[in-house]
């Protein structure tokens, strides 16, 4: 068996939050169940944010109540995004065992996304990491727009290195380096991830790529080559960020799973079932869902080769 690479499907959060159509909590649970069935062992199931800011994430508490295996399932590592202490408290009361918080690398992006300066956002992050540690909850600290910001342009690697260092010192379980607008290319990804791995070790890092320029899979490969083994991806390539102009879908989970398996890695994912989950996401959201590989994958399924 090949070396394991872990994929966290963020479609039910990053994917759905940017769809024109708002799904019911029941539909969101149906999508999550299809992902569990397809072998995903980590899923971001929603967020505790201001419902008026992100209507698609209202009712995350109801989603949590109906998750296959329960929120504390030992089979699937469920996480939620929290923007502030209030969100953290709601997540904690719902029995969540892993929270994700996001700080952007630039001032403008923090202001647009969470109405905080970077300093305020980092202070909030420190507090929430502290609360997570006290409560025995894992914390994923995400640095968004890590390569390029839609407002401020190219981001200096030293900023990302310094923020990662602080987040890990505060006790974050892992730092997630995110290309929120899908602007990075493989060389830039390899360079930054390589320097982060040298400093902090690959087990404390993850990557989150968007496929805006079709480079999500190439960027993943570059990060794998730098030693990264944890990735976010979104079923059917659903996604975007409502607060980052130009951000389109996340790299599709099926594209990552296919590339990784061809490169000899083990993901535990059943591609046939994952394609079915992507179709379900497409039907429910009414927007086309599917990665670059989905036509080929479907032909293999028709031929009985998958
Ligand atoms: N969940 C639900 N309600 C919340 C909340 C949360 N996490 N955080 C704050 N609120 C409520 C407050 O209780 C307050 O309610 P009140 O007016 O009845 O007293 C109100 O919202 C305003 O609180 P405030 O702290 O001033 O928040 P804000 O208006 O500055 O909004 C955020 C800040 C971060 C909560 C909001 O902008 C948000 O949720 N953004 C979404 C970010 C996101 O999901 N981005 C995409 C992923 S990266
Ligand atoms: Zn994203």
How many whole angstroms separate alpha carbon 97 and alpha carbon 77? 8
pLDDT value, residue 246: 64
Per-residue pLDDT band for 241 (boundaries 50, 70, 90) equals: low
| C-alpha radius of gyration, the chain, whole number | 18
Residues 25 and 62 sit within 8 Å (Cβ to Cβ): yes
How buried is 206 (Cβ within 10 angstroms: 0-12 exposed, 13-18 middle, 19+ buried)?
buried
Residue 206 has pLDDT above 90, yes or no: yes
Share of the chain above pLDDT 90, in %: 92
pLDDT at 1: 79
Average pLDDT of the residues of the chain: 96
Q: Extract the tokens encoding 192.
A: 């930054």
Distance of alpha carbon 131 from alpha carbon 125, whole angstroms: 10
In this predicted structure, which of 48-62, 144-158, 240-254 has the lowest mean pLDDT? 240-254
Q: What is the pLDDT of residue 209?
A: 97
Q: Atom 10 in ligand 1: which residue has the minimum CA distance? A: 50
Q: Is the dihedral of CA 162, 142, 41, 294 positive or negative?
A: negative
Q: What is the pLDDT of residues 208-226, one digit of tens each?
A: 999 999 999 999 999 999 9
Q: With CA atoms as reference, report the closest residue to 75 among 35, 29, 38, 40.
A: 40
Closest ligand relative to 176 C-alpha: 2
Alpha helices in the chain (DSSP H): 25-37, 60-65, 85-93, 107-114, 118-135, 157-170, 186-200, 216-225, 253-262, 271-285, 294-302
Q: How confident is the model at residue 239 (pLDDT cuts 50, 70, 90)?
A: confident
Q: Which segment of 6-10, 112-116, 243-247 scores lowest on mean pLDDT?
A: 243-247
Q: What is the pLDDT of residue 114?
A: 86
Distance (Å, whole) CA 240 – CA 151: 16
CB 217 within 8 A of CB 231: no
Top-confidence residue, 288 or 94:
94
Distance CA(11)–CA(237), nearest Å, equals 8
Read off the pLDDT of each residue in 161-166 and give the average, rounded to a whole number: 98
Q: Which ligand 1 atom sits nearest the alpha carbon of residue 102?
A: 48
Question: Distance (Å, rounded) from C-alpha 125 to C-alpha 97?
Answer: 17
**Residue of 149, 76, 70 whose CA lies nearest to 109:** 149
User: In ligand 1, which atom is closest to the CA atom of 51?
Assistant: 2
Residue 115 is given by DSSP the state S
109 lines ligand 1 (CB under 6 A): no
Range scoring the smallest mean pLDDT among 137-141, 165-169, 290-294:
290-294
Residue 57 pLDDT level (bands cut at 50, 70, 90)? very high
Q: What are the residue numbers of the active site?
A: 241
What structural domains does the chain harbor?
6-303 (3.20.20.70)
Q: How far apart are CA 186 and CA 7, in angstroms?
A: 19
Q: What is the pLDDT, as a whole number, of residue 244?
A: 66
Q: Around 11, how many Cα atoms within 13 Å sit in the side-chain half-sphere?
A: 36
Pocket residue to mutate for ligand 1, from 15, 19, 49, 131, most atoms within 8 A of Cβ:
49
What confidence score (pLDDT) does residue 221 get?
98
Q: In angstroms, what is the span from residue 115 Cα to ligand 1's centroid?
A: 9
- pTM here? 0.96
Return residues with CB closer than 5 A to ligand 2 (ion): 14
Write the pLDDT tens digit of every residue in 258-297. 999 999 999 999 999 999 999 999 999 988 888 999 999 9
Reduced to 3 states (helix: H, G, I; strand: E, B; else coil), residue 231 is strand
Q: Residue 248 — pLDDT band, cuts 50, 70, 90? A: confident
């Amino acid at each position: 068996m090949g070396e394991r690479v872990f994929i966290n499907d963020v479609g039910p959060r990053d994917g759905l939050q940017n769809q024109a159509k708002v799904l019911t909590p029941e539909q969101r649970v149906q999508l999550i169940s299809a992902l569990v069935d397809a072998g995903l062992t980590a899923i971001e199931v929603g967020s505790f944010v201001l419902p008026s800011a992100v209507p698609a994430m209202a009712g995350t508490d109801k989603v949590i109540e109906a998750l296959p295996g329960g929120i504390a399932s030992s089979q699937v590592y469920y996480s939620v995004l929290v923007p502030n202490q209030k969100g953290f408290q709601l997540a904690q009361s719902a029995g969540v065992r892993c929270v994700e918080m996001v700080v952007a690398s630039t001032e403008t992006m923090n202001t647009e996304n969470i109405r905080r300066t970077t300093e305020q956002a980092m202070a909030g992050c420190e507090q929430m990491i502290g609360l997570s540690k006290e409560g025995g909850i894992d914390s994923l600290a995400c640095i968004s727009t890590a390569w390029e910001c839609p407002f401020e342009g190219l981001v200096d690697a030293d900023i990302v290195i310094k923020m990662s260092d602080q987040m890990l010192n505060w006790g974050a379980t892992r730092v997630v380096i995110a290309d929120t607008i899908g602007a990075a290319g493989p060389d830039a990804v390899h360079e930054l991830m390589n320097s982060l791995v040298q400093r902090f070790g690959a087990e404390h890092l993850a990557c989150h790529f968007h496929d805006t320029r079709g480079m999500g899979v190439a960027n993943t490969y570059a990060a794998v080559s730098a030693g990264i083994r944890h990735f976010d991806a979104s079923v059917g390539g659903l996604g975007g960020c409502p607060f980052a102009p130009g951000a389109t879908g996340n790299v599709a989970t099926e594209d990552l799973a296919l590339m990784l398996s061809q490169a000899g890695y083990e993901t535990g994912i059943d591609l046939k079932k994952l394609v079915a989950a992507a179709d379900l996401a497409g039907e429910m959201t009414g927007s086309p869902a599917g990665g670059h590989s989905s036509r080929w994958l479907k032909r293999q399924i028709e031929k009985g080769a998958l």
